[in-house]
Amino acid sequence: MTTPLVEMDGDEMTRILWKMIKEELLLPYIELKTEYYDLGLACRNETDDQVTIDSAEATKKYGVAVKCATITPNAARMTEYNLKEMWKSPNGTIRAALDGTVFRAPIIVKGIEPCVKNWEKPITLARHAYGDVYKNTEIKVPGAGKAELVFTAADGTQIRETIHEFAGPGILQGIHNTDKSIASFAKACFNYALDTKQDLWFATKDTISKKYDHNFKDIFQEIYDAEYKEKFESAGIEYFYTLIDDAVARVMKAKGGFIWACKNYDGDVMSDMVSSAFGSLAMMTSVLVSPDGVYEYEAAHGTVQRHYYKHLAGEETSTNSVATIFAWTGALRKRGELDGNRDLMAFADKLEKATIQTIEEGKMTKDLALITSLNDVTVLNSENFIKEIRKTLETL
């Protein structure tokens, strides 16, 4: 390796897996170069969360990061870790610093079949992670009265619309988004489509929401026409806009192998549907892509707290490390691509192949054993699963 990866260590069971993956699957095979940031909760607390900010800055500098799952503190964690403050979600902090879009795709293996029979290839969900109902203002209307939407410009001029004349009690909600954030989202989607050579679908409810959703549609189209049309044509891929209800119907009939870009709420809801239909959160890759082409790879699941407590109690665990392994391979492959390091890219491919082959040979963790269609299955503990992958890797 020439340029280091930004390595963000994390918490609980995934921190245990992290160390095993490095020792068994990475360090024996590559001259791993990382700039290490400990995002474990203890270190975030000691540094007043500065370590998270530093890791995000380092990601901007080097361009590629790999992140372990981390605890987002709540009241229970305050006492468990004796915290000075209820530190913010590291993912939120990193996302805000990189202005990114999150792409999630299932890892397909034979023996773990999607519930939707015609899904042959992965469907990648791209979720806009800013605004709409997630940054809303709400009023519970007590009784009769007039609700208005008012915008006051910097110079004091106003735009005013009546929302509703209430005859009795009801509810009100104000939401917003910005052209800047929508444009970043669009560019992240177009770049990711080019990067992975997949068609891009985008859908909103612009027939009903003639200004709000229509603005999303227009910004996507303007950016596509100005900056991406030719690139898409020469890559042989397509950008396709349709209504959200049409998109949902088409997704169910499709073969997969495309990116589905969704507004914030649609992405929240649809990514849970798509991921559970494909089998398991532990078989899902997740990458945050910024509009300037900075990449942060992680697993889609959390720190698997319940397994960690068993581990601490000296009991055996069977935690699936696939998503964490794929976070590493994703980051290594991207680093290799940016540095023109073919050996590193080839290693990432090989490690992914070894991981998939191990499962397809019937050696897997308990979560997969419960849903597999394979007959001859060996259920492995956390450590032995990683060791089996190493054995497979040695044969490739």
Q: Report in angstroms how near the CB of residue 37 gets to ligand NAP at its nearest.
A: 14
238-262: burial string, b at 16+ Cβ within 10 Å, e else: ebebbbbeebeeebeebebebbbbb
Q: Report in angstroms how near the CB of residue 315 gets to ligand NAP at its nearest.
A: 13
Pick from Mg ion, ligand NAP, none: which does 281 bind, CB < 5 to 8 A by kind?
Answer: ligand NAP
Q: Report in angstroms how near the CB of residue 78 gets to ligand NAP at its nearest.
A: 12
Q: Which of 304, 332, 364, 393 binds ligand NAP (CB under 6 A)?
A: 304
Please report whether residue 320 would count as binding ligand NAP according to CB under 6 A.
Answer: yes
348-365: burial string, b at 16+ Cβ within 10 Å, e else: beebbebbbbbbbeebbb
Please report whether residue 52 would count as binding ligand NAP according to CB under 6 A.
Answer: no
Please report whether residue 319 would count as binding ligand NAP according to CB under 6 A.
Answer: yes
Place of tokens 């910097």: 154
Please report whether residue 268 would count as binding Mg ion according to CB under 5 A.
Answer: yes
Pick from ligand NAP, Mg ion, none: which does 266 bind, CB < 5 to 8 A by kind?
Answer: none
CB nearer to ligand NAP: pick between 303 and 329: 303
Residue whose Cβ sits closest to ligand NAP: 302
Q: How many residues bind ligand NAP (CB under 6 A)?
A: 17
260 to 299: interface string for ligand NAP, x by CB under 6 A: ---------------------xx---------------x-
> Beta strand 170-174 with 239-243: parallel, antiparallel or unpaired?
unpaired
Bridge partners, 125 (sequence order): 104, 260
Pick from ligand NAP, Mg ion, none: which does 45 bind, CB < 5 to 8 A by kind?
Answer: none
Bridge partners, 65 (sequence order): 6, 296
CB nearer to ligand NAP: pick between 183 and 379: 379
Residue 320's CB is within 10 A of a number of other CB atoms, namely 24
Q: Which of 91, 329, 341, 358 binds ligand NAP (CB under 6 A)?
A: 91
Report the distance separating Cα 32 and Cα 321, nearest Å: 19
Please report whether residue 72 would count as binding ligand NAP according to CB under 6 A.
Answer: yes
DSSP helix/strand/coil, 339:
helix
Report the distance separating Cα 374 and Cα 9, nearest Å: 34
Give Dmax over CA atoms of the chain in angstroms.
Answer: 74
In contact, 258 and 196? CB cutoff 8 Å:
no
Q: Report in angstroms how near the CB of residue 322 gets to ligand NAP at its nearest.
A: 7
> Which residues, at least 6 apart from 283, have a Cβ–Cβ distance to it below 8 Å?
106, 107, 109, 112, 320, 322, 323, 368
Q: Report in angstroms how near the CB of residue 264 gets to Mg ion at its nearest.
A: 11
Please report whether residue 306 would count as binding ligand NAP according to CB under 6 A.
Answer: yes
CB nearer to Mg ion: pick between 268 and 339: 268
DSSP helix/strand/coil, 1:
coil
Q: Report in angstroms how near the CB of residue 364 gets to ligand NAP at its nearest.
A: 11
Q: Report in angstroms how near the CB of residue 318 gets to ligand NAP at its nearest.
A: 7
Bridge partners, 5 (sequence order): 34
> Beta strand 101-106 with 123-127: parallel, antiparallel or unpaired?
antiparallel
Q: Which of 45, 59, 70, 275 binds ligand NAP (CB under 6 A)?
A: 70
Structure tokens at 282: 């532990």
CB nearer to Mg ion: pick between 269 and 371: 269
Near ligand NAP by CB under 6 A, which window of 30-38, 64-72, 223-231, 233-241? 64-72
Pick from Mg ion, ligand NAP, none: which does 367 bind, CB < 5 to 8 A by kind?
Answer: ligand NAP
Bridge partners, 287 (sequence order): 103, 297
CB nearer to ligand NAP: pick between 123 and 288: 288
Beta strands in the chain (DSSP E): 5-9, 34-38, 64-67, 101-106, 123-127, 137-141, 145-152, 158-166, 170-174, 199-204, 239-243, 258-262, 284-289, 295-299, 363-364, 378-379
Q: Which of 95, 104, 263, 301 binds ligand NAP (CB under 6 A)?
A: 301
Report the distance separating Cα 102 and Cα 259, nearest Å: 12
Binding site residues, ligand NAP, CB under 6 A: 69-72, 91, 281-282, 298, 301-306, 319-320, 367
Binding site residues, Mg ion, CB under 5 A: 268, 272
